[in-house]
Structure 1
Amino acid sequence: MRSAKLMNGRVFAGARALYRAAGVDGKDFGKPIIAIANSFDEFLPGHVHLNKVGRLISEAIKEAGGIPREFNTMAVDDGIAMGHTGMLYSLPSRDIIADTVEYQVNAHCADALICIPNCDKIVPGMLMGAMRLNIPTIFASGGPMRAGKTPGAPHDTDLNSIFEGVAARVIDKIDDAQLEALECTACPGPGSCSGMFTANSMNCLCEALGIALPGNGTIAADDPARVELWRKAAFRIVELAKMENPPRAKDFVTAKSFQNALVLDMAMGGSSNTVLHTLAIANEAGLKVDLKELDRISRMTPNICKLAPSKGEFHIAEDCRRVGGIMAILKEIAKVPGLIDGSAPTVSGKTLAEEYSAAPDPDGTVIRPLENAYSKVGGLAILFGNLAANGCVVKAAGVDPKMLVHKGPAVIFESQEEACEGILGGKVKEGDVVVIRYEGPKGGPGMQEMLAPTSYIMGRGLGSSVALITDGRFSGATHGACIGHVSPEAAAGGLIGLVEPGDIISIDIPNRSVTLEVSDDVLAERRKTWKPREPKIKTGYLAKYASLATSADTGGVLRVGK
């Protein structure tokens, strides 16, 4: 065990003294030290209960014969950070979280790691840190929130219902009392927001990666079954740590498990942010995954499950969990030859196929059988063209069929804030293509989520006639013809920075193309006058982040000397 050097000999007497001072009984020296990477935070409903979860897991680790050592990472609530400068800090927090996990575990010679993430950037940040450490690791998330029960709503509600309600109120589709009812009921308690948004998408992918136990992504935060999952994870991590040659994080996160996770993502129509995060995780794991590989998998994978926001009446804890959860999706999609490698190991000790073989068959409504799939291709699509030479991403599962092919004039906004004001102010009309630029990892800096402008488009009744293109990213709650992650980004000299008002943009999602219909000669002339913009922020962490960040096609990872 890594900790053995600290627990023996005179040289490390000081280290042992400090462990004693921190509450470790000397009689326990020699037991495996299990680092608990928690992310308790009273700002986030997805994390507000994790202090109790950390204590529960800590006690279970002691019971199993380990030494638990808990620490916290930061956690940003994208919903609270949205609409102001706070959102600039969201994506960059992913790298700080990865650094924190790496630092804490290596600095204190922990033998194994159990991660308790839940919301958006915490899951990928911890996964990135775990790849760097490559020690026995299990993920046990805080669990999804239950959907809201809003009087008068046509179906269960969630955070996205509120954002769309704001725009609906602006045009008097609902009144103040109805908006307040949404505010008070759509997010009823602890857990990650209840749709197939980014947090839940990532927690589900952990099951397919084999680094979390079944149910990690779908058992509600307040379900008694969640307690059993946390305890089971705690006992299992101690068991792994005690093995002579234990399986490590990279033994689970392999090329074949990565394909399994990407197939699941396409089959369930996960958040477009999963593309950004899986690229970053693959980078840390030393795996070669790029947008072309994601597009290849998307073209092979039927979309057999739609949850909110793609299908507003279905939510993850109430509906997906009820019909068998992630294992049921994997079981059905595994019938397509070559998609799922069931031999991939999982932290439970079983193969992935052994885990999903016990799952029920598709219910036909929440999870459809292959012969009645929503589409023959995946819920996420990667588009290429002169406007996005290195690629861009759209959640095709959430696009109105009328908008799968669209052509319209560009309406340009130089920031998310400007776009929100313009959309609510009526500057966007039917048929337009909204362009929001200089919002990429470098240009933002921080690549803000665009849930507010996309929700305002939907709330104003323009979802079936207006497209949006940006070098920023979207919330997992976004739906509609919303194309993000345009690479190269405007701040890096991407063509999106040369678009002018009224330019015609053509979008063809089935054929995976996005084109600015302006001649090469005209673009060359525009290029001559284009100049890089001064950084928006010149001090503090965001200035450092902007200087190191790459475009979204590489996951927005940080690279020194790039």
Structure 2
Amino acid sequence: METKNDLRIRSKVISEGVNRVPNRSMLRAVGFSDEDFKKPMIGVASTWSEVTPCNIHINELAKQVKAGARDGGGAPMIFNTITVSDGIAMGHDGMFYSLPSREVIADSIETVTNAERLDGIVAIGGCDKTTPACIMAIGRMNIPSVYVYGGTIQPGKLDGKDIDIVSSFEAVGQYQEGTIDKDQLYKVECHACPGAGACGGMYTANTMAAAVEALGMSIPGSSSTPAVNDYKESECRQAGELVVGLLEKEIYPRDIMTKEAFENAITVVMALGGSTNAFLHLLAMAHSAEVDLTLDDFERVRQTVPHLADLKPSGKYVMQDLYEVGGVQAVMKLLHENGLLHVDCLTVTGKTIAENLAEVASLKEGQEVIRPFDQPFKPNGPLVVLRGNLAPDGAVAKMSGQKISRFEGPARVYDSEAEATKAIEDNLIQEGDVLVIRHVGPKGGPGMPEMLSITAMIVGRGLGGKVALMTDGRFSGGSHGFVIGHVSPEAHVGGPISLLKEGDIVTIDSDKQEINMNVSKEELEQRAKAWKKPAAKHRNGILAKYAHLVSSSSKGAVTDLNLD
């Protein structure tokens, strides 16, 4: 690894000396002047794209970052990477590419930054995978960096009510059940997403943005400011200025992204009732920063943190509502006042969490988005790690909005999302069933697809909470109901979920944190002897490479683990 002194002068290798004339010629062609060669080179990693509303506005934000970096004394350059829209990829083969895109984004930012020997980075994300991917790249490179979130979308309006993208998925189930007609379905489609910004509830994009703010890697308030708010441009200018200041102060990402900082991120996710995807992404981000984080850490933190937020998908409000009553910073202030944050942790402002929060107003009086600390929805966080003979390495349950904590029923086993979808459409899934979708894990999918379409169909048909759904895949942050994902080891590598048979009784108990099948050890041993590993689904291309390299979901589904 480069030393801090090495990192401080990275760009000098292409700006000094007679032999660097060709380097400077190339840079002059993109606008560098004599003075620019005396300044630190700052990269602006933009995830701008027209394929999703989450990122469609980010090009303009990148320009503001560039202006801020130039005003701060840097020589900035914008470069781009990809994004994938999970909402558009949902429910078909496109979803297999969603989680792998996180690695592509992180790898591309690392590649450009290190190839060009940039001194600092401001990364701007929007859609689900862009936030963790940017932080993963930042953690690997460990050069002065700031993350900026593109911001949340405004809620759509229909018949005087707020709706969002999850309303569209659930409307499909309602239409299939006959509770709404085609005209109403069309109205939902046309009104759910009114403009730029990431999906509005406490879904994965907003969850991860809040986590990164708590981690200390974004400007205080960045995760809450809506995409269309004029202040978002000011945040971006500030980020550009800050990264030059971090370089001067020699403050590096791993100075900020400590074990305690990750515990702060988990604390905020639990209080807000965030997405189960936070487990995957925070584990991967910690791995990139060489921080030892495990599922046990999530569970340890969860036990001390109440669930306070009445946010979608299980609640009533969206991220813009949280912004209007004080935002994530006000929630952090509340958590700090109750002793739940490590407030000595450093942040990209150059100040500690405590110093930042000293300048923050408390939540507005009379607001209903965040419960009083002594009146939580649940006394502990709603994202629960389960273990048992179905998931010896762990599974993750999202219990927010659930009135029951234990579910037992016969397994209805399917080896693909398509098979399960057809079963639901044919009314084969009934109240009391445990719907199992396997061979959709990181290797088996490959790509660990999300099951939002499935959960939305279940809710839309009136079976929410009446049917349990278990998978070695994962769930969208918009999913709710009695859902258990990330079952590990996955079916593709012979995990116990691969041995489950139709009709086996499955017991899920979030209080005991257990997930088991009522099958004897002897019977499981016989089934294991008869099990045969499925053939690889892909022989070339990104999915083949991903399936070959990716780790277990319990390790963050990273592709650079144990490469020795």
Q: TM-score with structure 2 length normalisation?
A: 0.96
Is 2:53 aligned against 1:60? Answer: no
Moved more, 382-391 or 364-373: 364-373
Q: Does 1:252 align with 2:253?
A: no
Q: 5+ residue gaps in structure 1?
A: none
Alignment of 1:29 onto 2:37:
yes
Residue from 370, 374, 399 that aligns with 1:371: 374
- Of residues 323, 328, 333, the one that matches 2:330 is 328
In 1, the alpha carbon distance for the partners of 2:48 and 2:363 equals 36
- Write the distance in 2 (CA, Å) between the matches of 1:461 and 1:198: 24
Give secondary structure in 2 for the equivalent of 1:547: helix
| Aligned equivalent of 1:314 | 317
Residue 157 of structure 2 aligns to a residue in which SS? coil
CA offset at residue 133 of structure 1?
Answer: 0.7
Aligned equivalents of 2:336, 2:70: Cα separation in 1 = 38
Identical positions, percent: 41
Residue deviations 1:4-33, cap 9 Å, x none?
232211121111111111211123211111
**Deviation at 1:356?**
2.3
* Amino acid of the structure 2 residue aligned with 1:139: Y
Please say if residues 308 and 372 of structure 2, whose CA atoms lie closer than 8 Å, have aligned partners that are also in contact. Answer: yes
Equivalence map 1:238-317=2 (5 Å): 238-241=244-247, 243=248, 245-311=249-315, 313-317=316-320
* Residue 59 (structure 2) aligns with: 51
Matches within 5 A, 1:152-163: 155-163=161-169
Q: Give how far 1:79 is off.
A: 0.8
CA distance in 2, matches of 1:53, 1:93: 22
The secondary structure found in structure 1 opposite 2:225 is coil
Q: Measure how far apart 1:214 and its partner are.
A: 1.5
* Alignment equivalent of 1:177, drawn from 144, 167, 183: 183
1:221 paired to 2:221: no
User: Matches of residues 401-480 of structure 1 in structure 2 within 5 Å?
Assistant: 401-402=403-404, 404-480=405-481
* Cα deviation, residue 354, structure 1: 2.2
Do the aligned residues in 2 keep the contact of 1:265 with 1:379 (CA within 8 Å)?
A: no
Q: 1:418 Cα deviation (Å)?
A: 1.2
Give the letter for the 1:320 counterpart. Answer: L
Q: Distance in 1 between matches of 2:20 and 2:426?
A: 66
Match of 1:359 in 2: 361
Contact 1:548 1:560 in 2 (8 A): no
CA contact (8 A) 1:33 1:111 kept: yes
Q: What secondary structure does 2:242 align onto?
A: helix
Q: Which residue of 1 aligns with 2:20?
A: 12
Task: Determine helix, strand or coil for the equivalent of 1:334.
Answer: helix
Cα distance in 1, alignment partners of residues 164 and 176 from structure 2:
19
Partner-residue secondary structure (3-state), 1:236: helix
Residue 253 of structure 1 deviates from its aligned partner by: 0.7
Task: Give 1:524's aligned residue.
Answer: 525
Candidates 81, 106, 124, aligned match of 1:73: 81
Q: Report if aligned partners of 1:36, 1:68 keep a CA contact under 8 Å in 2.
A: yes
> Retained in 2: the 8 A contact 1:306–1:397?
no
Counterpart secondary structure, 1:156 = strand
> CA shift at 1:335, angstroms?
3.6
Tell me, in whole angstroms, the C-alpha distance in 2 between the residues paired with 1:359 and 1:48. Answer: 31
Between 1:59-68 and 1:450-459, the stretch displaced more is 59-68
Q: Give the match for residue 233 of structure 1.
A: 239
Distance of 2:15 and 2:383 partners within structure 1: 50
CA distance in 2 between partners of 1:359 and 1:500 (Å): 55
Superposed, which structure 2 residues align to 1:329-344 within 5 Å?
A: 329-337=331-339, 339-344=340-345
Shift of 1:84: 1.5
The one-letter code sitting in structure 2 at the alignment partner of 1:353 is: A
Tell me what 1:380 maps to.
Answer: 383
What are the superposed Cα offsets for residues 179-236 of structure 1, whole Å, 9 maximum, x if unpaired?
A: 1111111111000011111111111111101110112111110011212111111121
Preserved CA contact (<8 Å) 2:99 2:129: yes
Q: 3-state SS of the aligned residue for 2:477?
A: coil
Secondary structure in 1 matching 2:18: coil
Q: In the alignment, residue 391 of structure 2 is paired with which amino acid?
A: A
Residue 364 of structure 1 and its aligned partner are, at CA, apart by 5.3
Partner-residue secondary structure (3-state), 1:348:
coil
SS in 2 for 1:345: coil
Per mean C-alpha deviation after superposition, the further-off stretch among 170-179 and 57-66 is 57-66
Per-residue deviation, 1:464 = 2.3
In structure 1, the residue matched to 2:400 is 397
In 2, the alpha carbon distance for the partners of 1:134 and 1:50 equals: 24
| Larger CA deviation: 464-473 vs 417-426 | 417-426
Work out the CA distance in 2 between the residues paired with 1:388 and 1:474: 17
Q: Which residue of 1 aligns with 2:4?
A: none
Compute the displacement of 1:295 (Å).
0.9
Partner amino acid, structure 1, of 2:377: Y
Quick one: distance in 2 between partners of 1:17 and 1:526?
66
Taking the aligned partners of 1:170 and 1:365, their CA distance within structure 2 comes to: 34
Q: Is the 8 A contact 2:122 2:146 kept in 1?
A: yes
Secondary structure of the structure 1 residue equivalent to 2:91: coil
Q: Report which stretch shifted further, 61-70 or 96-105.
A: 61-70
CA distance in 2, matches of 1:92, 1:111: 27
Give 5+ residue unaligned stretches, structure 2: 1-8
- Cα RMSD over matched residues? 1.3
* Structure 1 equivalent of residue 506 of structure 2: 505
Q: What's 1:145 paired with?
A: 153
Tell whether the 8 Å contact from 2:214 to 2:268 is kept in structure 1 after alignment: yes
- Matched-pair contact (CA < 8 Å) for 1:268–1:379: no
How many residues are treated as equivalent by the alignment? 553
- The answer (yes or no) to whether the contact 2:68–2:239 under 8 Å persists in 1 is no
Whole-Å separation in 1 of the counterparts to 2:446 and 2:494: 15
Give me the whole-angstrom Cα distance separating, in 1, the residues matched to 2:20 and 2:421.
58
Q: CA deviation at 1:305?
A: 1.2
Query: In structure 2, what is the Cα distance between the partners aligned to 1:477 and 1:34?
Result: 36
- Give the match for residue 171 of structure 2: 165
- TM, length-normalised to structure 1: 0.96
Contact in 1 for aligned 2:343/2:354 (Cα 8 Å): yes
